[in-house]
């Protein structure tokens, strides 16, 4: 009996996740517009996906997160790259927990820096019809989006602190700080220019008190 219940529950969770994923990835439509908050609330940041490799709005930057720590004695570490090694591990073997872990920071970036389709449509309508943006602020910036950003940032900080603990297992860590490094792509017109320097922007987050976490990285 217990086995049947577990099988039914597993199937229910699987098909529920599948439905949310399909709705999340489909083009903008009335169903997606109606349930957008619920869909995004479930999918982001852990299960977020996007198609920004393709037109009309392909990705034009390389982004990675870095973290540094401050110990109880006041010493501050160098910046540690959170992104590159994780991508390399994931590409080396897709069938490991790294495939899911790498999505945490990708999902956090999507949640914090990319606009969902419903918000984008509202913004476009405001601009096209020259409407008063303040009248629609409750739709563009609401409790759901704030909570979603808070959750994404919390997950990112926990992820970063786990990595810091792996790097400095015997240190008394007091707090950590994350930055997001955004490197713009080299324009096609500059392909033959070996001296071209790509623009790099840094987005700095606040220092966060260290919360004891188990190291999940080797």
Position 218 in a domain? no
pTM of the model: 0.61
The reply to whether 215 falls in a domain is no
- Window from 6-15, 21-30, 135-144 with minimum mean pLDDT: 135-144
What does the pLDDT look like over 26-76, one tens digit per residue?
A: 776 677 767 777 777 777 656 666 555 544 555 567 788 999 999 999 999
HSE, side-chain direction, 13 A CA sphere, residue 66: 15
User: Does some domain include residue 119?
Assistant: yes
User: Domain limits at 122?
Assistant: 2-48+60-166+173-185+199-209
* pLDDT tens figures, 75-106: 999 999 988 888 888 788 877 777 777 777 77
Does any domain span residue 38?
A: yes
Domains in the chain, number: 1
* Element housing 179 (H / E): strand 173-184
Secondary structure class of 202 (helix, strand, coil): strand
Question: In angstroms, how far apart are the furthest CA atoms of the chain?
Answer: 69
- Assess if residue 158 is contained within a domain: yes
Q: What pLDDT is stored for residue 17 in this prediction?
A: 85
Q: What is the mean pLDDT of residues 156-184?
A: 90
How much is the pLDDT for 55? 46
Q: Is the pLDDT of residue 155 over 90?
A: no
Mean pLDDT of the chain: 78
| Torsion angle in degrees (nearest 10) through CA of 57, 61, 64, 68 | -130
* 193, part of any domain: no
Rounded distance between C-alpha atoms, residue 111 and residue 44, angstroms? 7
Residue 42: inside a domain, yes or no?
yes
- Answer for the pair 135, 170: CB distance below 8 angstroms, yes or no: no
């Amino acid at each position: 009996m217990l086995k049947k219940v577990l099988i039914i529950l597993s199937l229910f969770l699987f098909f529920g996740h599948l439905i949310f994923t399909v709705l999340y990835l489909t083009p903008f439509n009335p169903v997606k517009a109606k349930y957008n908050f619920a869909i995004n609330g479930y999918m982001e940041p852990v299960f977020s996906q996007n198609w920004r490799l393709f037109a009309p709005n392909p990705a034009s930057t390389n982004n990675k997160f870095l973290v540094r720590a401050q110990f109880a004695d006041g010493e501050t570490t160098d910046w540690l790259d959170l992104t590159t090694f994780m991508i390399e591990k994931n590409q080396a073997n897709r069938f490991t927990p790294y495939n899911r872990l790498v999505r945490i920071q990708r999902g956090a970036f999507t949640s914090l820096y990319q606009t969902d389709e419903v918000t984008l449509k509202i913004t476009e309508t405001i601009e096209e019809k020259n409407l008063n943006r303040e009248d629609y602020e409750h739709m563009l910036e609401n409790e759901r989006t704030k909570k979603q950003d808070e959750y994404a940032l919390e997950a990112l900080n926990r992820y970063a602190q786990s990595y810091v603990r792996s790097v400095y297992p015997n240190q008394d860590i007091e707090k950590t700080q994350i930055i997001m490094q955004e490197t713009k792509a080299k324009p096609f017109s500059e392909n033959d220019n070996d001296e071209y320097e790509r623009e790099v922007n840094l987005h700095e987050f606040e220092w966060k008190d260290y919360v004891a976490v188990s190291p999940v990285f080797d």
